[in-house]
Structure formats: C-alpha cells, structure tokens
Structure 1
C-alpha cells in the first residue's frame, strides 16, 4: 500500500486526539496499551513517517549531537582511536534517533565553528576530547548551557567524563617489559599538559620503583614530526643504553619515534616496546611489542549514552572508567 497518512488522519481514524497519536508513536505515557497497538498498526499499514524537522521543532531540539575534533585532524585521525570513537558515538546516537555532527576547530579561531553550531541550535549536546578543554571553551559551554561530556579527563574541569584507567594500564605494560628482561627502560611520552600522559608516566614510574629504580629516563614531546624527531634525538644521545621503551601514545607518534631510533643505530627487533595503543600495524613492523587494547567502542558508546541522558534531563554517572587489556 503506497498511501501515506498524516498524524491528523491517523487521529481521525482511531478516534483520538493528535496529541494521543503523538504520544503513542513516541513511546510516551498517557495512552492505553490497546489504543497504542491500534495506532502503531495503522501507522505501519499506512507508511506513516514522522517529519524530523517538525518533530525537532516541536521538542525544541535539533536531534543532533556534536563531537569536537582538532583543526590538526591529520594527526587526530592518524590513528584508529578517534575514528573508532566517532564511529561508536555515531552508531549509539543513531540508535536513539540522533545524528552526529563533527565540528572542527579552526587553528586561528578554535571556538568559531562551535559558537556557530550553538548559535544556530544545530546541536543538542557535545562530546569534547579532554585535550581540547580550555578555560574559554568551558566558559562557552557553561554560558550556553549546552550539555557536554568529556572523552578523557582534565584537571581544568570536573565534569561527566569517559576514560580508561591510565595509571593502572601503564603499570601493567611496564611490568610486562620488566618480566621480559628489560633492565634499562625509558619512557617516551606525549605532551606533559595532557592528564593521560601524566598518569601513564606515573604508572610507568610506579612499576619501576617496585624494582628499586627511582629516576628512570623520561622525555615528553608534542606529537608533530618535527618536534618529536628533535626531542627524541636529544633523548637518545643522553640515553644510548636503552633496551626497552614504554610509549604513552600511538599513531604517527610511534613511527616518528621508530624512525629516529633507527637513525641512531638501534635495532628495533632487539628493543622491548610497550605502547599504550593497540595500533595493529606496529605488530607487523617491530618485535617484540606489548600494547594496550582500549575498549574504544564501549567508550564511544558511553559518551553518547551519557550525553543523551543529560539532554533528557536524566542523571548519568559522573565518570565511566574502563580497564585496558594487554595484547
């Protein structure tokens, strides 16, 4: 049957008000089960499809959630991590009738795109990576009143968040390097200002402290190729006897490190590596390597679940912390 009925016509056929039909179609209370079945059956038979724009307008919602990514998305999307996060958020949002809008930050005006989305009421809520949380962003979100959840944690904002247990995970990875015979173990970490790097370095040091090693070599570096090569070169000159390395992040950062180590004469197949990332290509490039598998899909889905609870004025858990598994 190709005929399509409006909500008004379904109301006339079932002898109820349009508001009752709307409640039945949206799963709301105030409709008897018998009448709900009748309405749903009729809507199915006559191909009733609700007008998304009209529904969003009536609920004062865009039925879209946003996720913020860096203007430097060449790095952001250089690992499977953020791709999987975005995919999982999108899937969970779609299951609940929401779309996902990816909002990029301009290098010169990082808040411009987000301000426009908020001004145009294009999004009902926002997923924010912890690395991008700054005072001006917090102020914008609080002033606008838009619900948001943070992927990761930050000392700048105590808010609803989703993360892994970084310190515990780093401890496990470093312990595996020790079990594999590592004696001169170093740590190469991402930017110091990111809380996850700080926690992972703490976990690294904690594992070595148990072995009586109190001041292991640690270097922090931005993720760009130029800065990584420069910082790691200096570090390797100062620590030529490294036999194992714990690296706190993945993606292209790993390959910048590997290339630099090769240039300094390190045989990567004889170096023990532990990486806080399960970036599959590394298992085909170097051996031995121990990596941390993060439950990325579960984390992405949890971001969306928390955000939708906030949008619906429900009270979600303040934080959701996941364990890593060793690969």
Structure 2
C-alpha cells in the first residue's frame, strides 16, 4: 500500500499540511522538523504524486528539449549529456525532434508551453526570427545549445570559426596549399557560414589563394560528400587536401577519392569535423575536429537549472574548446 502524507504526519507528530509544505520545498517549518520529515519519508519509501506536487509548487519538473534529429549521433550525444544532468536534478525530459524545420520548431515551442515545462533547451535548426520571437513571448526559461544567437538568450556552443581554422591550419602545416572544402549551407551561421569563414581565414593568414570554385556545398550527409568531391575533382584534379564540415561528408569524400582511382592520404588528405563514430569506421580513420557533444549537453542543462532557480549567470554565452584528432587520413607532403 502506498505511503501517504498522513502516514508521515502521524509518525513525526505534525499536520499533513506541514508535511506537504516541507516536501514541496516551502520553508515554513523548523530545520529539525524538516530534517525529521525527510528522514521519515525516506524510511517509509514515500513516493510523491507529481501531479499533486505540481499544483502546490506551480512547477512540473519537466524540461522541454527541442532537437533536430536523434538519429544523428551528434545530437544523440548532446541529448545524453542533457539527460544525465536533468536526472540529477529530478527533472523529466520531453523530447521533440524537428528535422531542423521551422514549422516543427514553432509547433513544439507552443506545445511545450501548453505542457507548462519549467524550462526549454533549444538544439534545433538555425534559430529563425520566428522562433526567437515566440520564445520571448512564452517567457519560458530557455538555453540555446550548440548555436550562437544574437538575442539575449543564454547559450553553450563552440567557436566554429576558430575550430575550422584549426582544421585547415593542420593541413597547411602538413604542406598542403591546394585545399578544397565541402561546406554546409552558408545560410546556417554556425555549421555553415562560420566554418567557411574559418577555412578562408586560415588560407588568407597563410597567404594562400581562396578559390570559391573549390568550396562545394553539402548537407552534412555522406552522399553529399561523395557528390561534392566528384564535382571538386572535375574543377581541379590537382588538389592535395579536402576539409569537410562534417565527418559524414569527410567519409563520403574518402569514398569518392578512392572511386576516382586515387588514394587517401597518398594523393589527397581529408579532415572532417565532429568526431562521430563514423570517423573511426572509415579506411583510413578520418582526422577530425572533436566536438564535446556530451559536455555541450550537460553544461547547457546546468545553465538552464540556474536560470530556472533565478540564479545570476557568470557567463551568458559559453564557448567550449574542441580537440584536433590526428589520424591516418592526413599526410605530410
């Protein structure tokens, strides 16, 4: 039989309302009484009724996570980091996947508002103006994950310009001068535009020519990496290296290079971005920029917890460092 507030109240010698207030975090009893109530509740194995608790505290102990695609290992690892900290603070996650589509993002922001979530983590798409506007209007405590926004919203992300620069500089340090890029969509500031900027800046700083025809757009998937390299080799078969803005496109690049009768890294070196499991499954293993996906998740949930509690943030925008993984797909020339 389930333990009730009455059982705890009788054991401690206080009223049911006192037990309810203490268990719901309302400090209207002495320190000794609160301690005894929590101890008795634990000893009896009391399990609070979450619905009833929500009516008292006006909190649902739920967090809404709007995320692009859990089938993508990058987002799955971000979500794992979020879930670990949410569980630590006794929050349940309501996960909504959007495919990065604005229509879906707006739908789920409204849905999560109706469900009265205590906070929201946004890790989807390009954060269009419509989403920023709606988030302001809902007044739900929000943290943006892996996306830099101009708005006054707290965020945790990486510096895509800096990390892309690091990848291209590694190729340059290995003697490469004709370096092509498989980019994301330039309309996507974070994974698209900023990574292109990092590529160009590295070339410019090392007095190497930026050739726009050697930048071919992909969609971060393997097949687009194959098609991009096929196009690049038609434009200039003398390139010695490729920087891919995702590991999947990097592995696609390796496949296309081999299909063209060339070898990696003997003829063309390849470096990716993310450090997904696919980077280790390729032959040769793909050199890459390793993103701290799980840390992006847990740091953003820690930040959201502080926002929900009304605590002041030391930093509203946190940049996490990445790591260069040197592997067999790059050689010195």
- Could you tell me the TM-score, scaled by structure 1's length? 0.85
Match of 2:328 in 1: none
Change in 2 beyond 3 A, CA 1:230/1:187? closer
Given that 1:273 and 1:288 are in contact with CA atoms closer than 8 Å, whether structure 2 keeps it comes out as: no
Asked whether 1:285 is paired with 2:285, we answer: no
Match of 1:167 in 2: 161
Over aligned residues, Cα RMSD in angstroms?
Answer: 2.7
**Structure 1, unpaired ranges of 5+:** none
Change in 2 beyond 3 A, CA 1:183/1:286? farther
Structure 2 SS opposite 1:202 = helix
Instruction: Using the TM superposition, name which of 256-265 and 57-66 deviates more.
Output: 256-265
**Shift of residue 314, structure 1, vs aligned partner:** 2.5
**Shift of residue 190, structure 1, vs aligned partner:** 0.9
Asked whether 1:140 is paired with 2:134, we answer: yes
CA distance in 1, matches of 2:63, 2:17: 26
- From 196, 203, 222, the counterpart of 1:201: 196
Match of 2:319 in 1: 321
Match of 1:14 in 2: 12
Asked whether 1:99 is paired with 2:92, we answer: yes
- From 3, 6, 10, the counterpart of 1:5: 3
- From 202, 205, 211, the counterpart of 1:210: 205
**Shift of residue 172, structure 1, vs aligned partner:** 2.0
- From 46, 49, 60, the counterpart of 2:47: 49
Given that 2:163 and 2:198 are in contact with CA atoms closer than 8 Å, whether structure 1 keeps it comes out as: yes
**Shift of residue 228, structure 1, vs aligned partner:** 5.3
The residue correspondences of 1:35-114 to structure 2 (distance < 5 A) are 35-70=33-68, 73=69, 77-78=71-72, 80-105=73-98, 109-110=103-104, 111-114=106-109
Given that 2:123 and 2:146 are in contact with CA atoms closer than 8 Å, whether structure 1 keeps it comes out as: yes
Structure 2 SS opposite 1:131 = coil
Structure 2 SS opposite 1:267 = coil
CA distance in 2, matches of 1:99, 1:312: 16
Given that 2:149 and 2:155 are in contact with CA atoms closer than 8 Å, whether structure 1 keeps it comes out as: no
Change in 2 beyond 3 A, CA 1:238/1:156? farther
The residue correspondences of 1:115-264 to structure 2 (distance < 5 A) are 115-121=110-116, 123-129=117-123, 131-154=125-148, 157-196=151-190, 197-216=192-211, 217-223=214-220, 230-251=227-248, 253-264=249-260
Given that 2:273 and 2:288 are in contact with CA atoms closer than 8 Å, whether structure 1 keeps it comes out as: yes
Given that 1:10 and 1:43 are in contact with CA atoms closer than 8 Å, whether structure 2 keeps it comes out as: yes
CA distance in 1, matches of 2:252, 2:194: 22
Deviations 1:101-142 (A, max 9, x none): 111338694233442332243x22221125341122222222
Q: How many residues align?
A: 318
Match of 2:301 in 1: 304
**Shift of residue 15, structure 1, vs aligned partner:** 3.1
Given that 1:23 and 1:29 are in contact with CA atoms closer than 8 Å, whether structure 2 keeps it comes out as: yes
Change in 2 beyond 3 A, CA 1:130/1:284? closer
Given that 2:85 and 2:301 are in contact with CA atoms closer than 8 Å, whether structure 1 keeps it comes out as: yes
CA distance in 2, matches of 1:294, 1:105: 22
Change in 2 beyond 3 A, CA 1:324/1:226? closer
- Could you tell me the TM-score, scaled by structure 2's length? 0.84
Given that 1:273 and 1:289 are in contact with CA atoms closer than 8 Å, whether structure 2 keeps it comes out as: yes
Instruction: Using the TM superposition, name which of 272-281 and 108-117 deviates more.
Output: 108-117
